[in-house]
Amino acid sequence: MPDTRGVIVVAARRRFATHGYDATSLRSIASDAGVDAALLIHYFGSKEALFISAVGLPTPLPDLFADVARLPRRRAAEALVRRYLEIADSEHSRNTMLALVRSAVSSEQAAGLLRRFLTEALLGAIAQRGGEEDQALRASLIAAQLVGIAMLRHVLRLPPLAEAGPDEVVALAAPAIERYLS
Amino acid sequence: MPDTRGVIVVAARRRFATHGYDATSLRSIASDAGVDAALLIHYFGSKEALFISAVGLPTPLPDLFADVARLPRRRAAEALVRRYLEIADSEHSRNTMLALVRSAVSSEQAAGLLRRFLTEALLGAIAQRGGEEDQALRASLIAAQLVGIAMLRHVLRLPPLAEAGPDEVVALAAPAIERYLS
DNA sequence: GTCTATATGATGATAGAC
DNA sequence: GTCTATCATCATATAGAC
């Protein structure tokens, strides 16, 4: 086994993404990774620390929205939606995102991570655009739209949204988000 | 104690709303209600059945979106957002909604309830409006926006959205949602 | 490094006294 | 109707053998 620690982290991220923090046991992660449950504690010290290592590691997530600030309004809105959908196609990023969303409802730790990511990455990027006074609230509503799509598409699997292709979603959601970009 | 069963249901709904299905123990509900944990099983048979009784009972939720079909586009969008915010002011409805959202990530049972509510109430009402082919997808995106607001405002408590007044949210969100109403 | 064995505690549910 | 006592199961985490 070359990289046991890495195998554990990947298995953990997948479990946390599909079952959330509470419903994921160290035993189930260990089973997926093909190692003993005691090893996880040996490597990471606690379940919480393993969670942080699994979802807090450097991912392409933070800089996904980086150049939103530079694009014209229409292009920026399209980019936001399309980039989110690209995340959903990358196993690593999707699992990170879903693990955060699924775990945030029951773990204050996870809620803090997701809150910080949304605040820094998205609100930060959008704040660099026009400087209206309600810009932070507008950015929050954009974040709400994207988080809601993640919830309905991947967690709830609501048929119309779960089965729609990326282009359909972009075509409909981008104009709505455009209205938030002052 | 006049209505023990009712006291239990209210305590359960509040616990499920604040902690989600998995993280809520029968003992904690019993403690809040001031009764013994064995009573909950005696009354409801199982934790799952108690959950159904707590969040599945008749609430003002289903008909909240009823007359959206009858209003002109601009008024309909405003009504959708404002009604959601009214729900958040009613302890009963807010707890029902939050219990569903918080529990849907880990309980397939709860996910089914929320999926059914969104499909029947919201998608149904919106389908009664214009008859475009992508109407169901448009309605899903509206649902995603509202669920996302609930997540960020009440679960994640993202500052800009959590602290904004109802009028501010309506003023910004309604025009965006209006774009989804063909 | 990896696993066995186990400590310690919380959970949902049951049986039965009053 | 309500509670006491208990069961079987699962959890995270620890100690220590190899």
- The full 3-state SS of B63-122, as one line of letters, equals HHHHHHHCCCHHHHHHHHHHHHHHHCCCHHHHHHHHHHHHHHCCCHHHHHHHHHHHHHHH
Cβ–Cβ of A106/B106 closer than 8 Å?
yes
Nearest to A134 among B134, B151, B168 (CB): B168
Do B43 and B23 fall within a single domain?
A: yes
| Domain termination site, one of A14, A37, A56 | A56
Residue B133 is predicted with a pLDDT of: 81
Interface test with A, best of B80, B81, B126, B158 (most A CBs within 10 A): B158
Instruction: Identify whether residues B171 and B122 lie together within a single domain.
Output: yes
Do B48 and B67 sit in the same domain of this protein? no
Averaged pLDDT, A1-13: 90
Do A111 and B155 count as a contact with CB atoms less than 8 A apart? yes
Question: Do A84 and A158 sit in the same domain of this protein?
Answer: yes
Please tell me whether residues A30 and A69 are part of one structural domain: no
Nucleotide nearest to B24 (CA to C1'): C11
From residues 15-54 of A, which are strand D contacts by CB within 7 A?
24-28, 37-38, 41-42, 45-48
CA A164/CA A21 separation, integer angstroms: 28
Distance in angstroms, CA of A151 to C1' of C15?
A: 43
Residue A173 CA distance to nucleotide C3 C1' (Å): 52
Chain position carrying tokens 């509900």: B29
- For the segment B38-43, the average pLDDT, to the nearest whole number, is 97
- On the question of pLDDT at B67 being above 80, the answer is no
pLDDT beyond 80 at A94: yes
Amino acid, single-letter form, for residue B44? F
pLDDT of residue B109 exceeding 90, the answer is no
Type of residue at B125: A
On the question of pLDDT at A1 being above 70, the answer is no
Those residues whose C-beta lies under 8 Å from the C-beta of residue A158, and which sit 6 or more positions away, are A152, B115, B118, B119, B140, B143
The predicted pLDDT at position B142 comes to: 95
Mean pLDDT, chain B, integer: 91
Q: Of A56-60, A87-91, B60-64, B170-174, where does mean pLDDT reach its minimum?
A: B60-64
Residue B34 belongs to domain with CATH number? 1.10.10.60
**Number of folded domains that form chain B:** 2
Per mean pLDDT, which range of A13-27, A121-135, B79-93, B110-124 is the poorest?
A: A121-135
Nearest one of A64, A174, A81 to A124, comparing CA atoms: A64
Together in a domain, B66 and B49: no
Q: What does the alpha-carbon distance between residue B91 and residue B69 come to, in Å, rounded to a whole number?
A: 26
B20/B110 Cα distance (integer angstroms):
10
The verdict on B29 and B72 lying in the same domain is no
Q: Are B181 and B78 in contact (CB under 8 A)?
A: no
Confidence (pLDDT) at B182: 78
Chain B residues touching residue A143 (CB < 8 angstroms): 148, 152, 158
Contact yes or no for A80/A177 (Cβ under 8 A) = yes
Cα angle B81, A83, A88 (rounded to 5 degrees) comes to 90
Instruction: Round to whole Å and give the CA distance between A150 and B35.
Output: 39
Task: Please compute the mean of the pLDDT values over residues B120-135 and round it to a whole number.
Answer: 77
Written as six digits, the tokens of B24 are: 């809520």
- Does residue B1 have a pLDDT over 80? no
Q: Answer yes or no: do B48 and B72 share one domain.
A: no
B168 in the same domain as B83: yes
Query: How far does Cα A61 stand from its chain's mean position?
Result: 7
* Residues B81 and B144 grouped into a single domain: yes
In the predicted structure, residue B93 carries a pLDDT above the cut 80: yes
Q: What is the pLDDT of residues A30-44, one digit of tens each?
A: 999 999 999 999 999
Letter for the amino acid at A63?
D
Residues spanned by the domain of A130:
62-178
- Written as six digits, the tokens of B51 are 């959950």
Q: Flag the least confident range among A49-63, B23-37, B110-124.
A: A49-63
Residue A28 pLDDT class (50, 70, 90 cuts): very high
Model confidence pLDDT, tens digit, residues A107-137? 888 899 999 988 888 777 877 776 678 999 9
Does pLDDT of A88 surpass 90? Answer: no
Q: Are B104 and A22 within 8 A, CB to CB? A: no
Q: Are A148 and A89 in a shared domain?
A: yes
Write the CATH number for A104.
1.10.357.10
Question: Which chain A positions have a beta carbon within 8 Å of B143's beta carbon?
Answer: 148, 152, 158
d(CA B29, CA B8): 7
Q: Annotate B5-52 with three-state secondary structure.
A: HHHHHHHHHHHHHHHCCCCCCHHHHHHHHCCCHHHHHHHHCCHHHHHH
Mean pLDDT of B9-15: 97
Token match 């982290």: residue? A9
First to last CA, chain B: 53
Out of B17-21, B121-125, B139-143, which region has the weakest mean confidence (pLDDT)?
A: B121-125
For chain B, give the percent of residues with pLDDT over 70: 95
Say yes or no to pLDDT of B126 above 80.
no
Indicate whether A25 and A76 sit together in one domain. Answer: no
Q: What is the DSSP letter of A46?
A: S
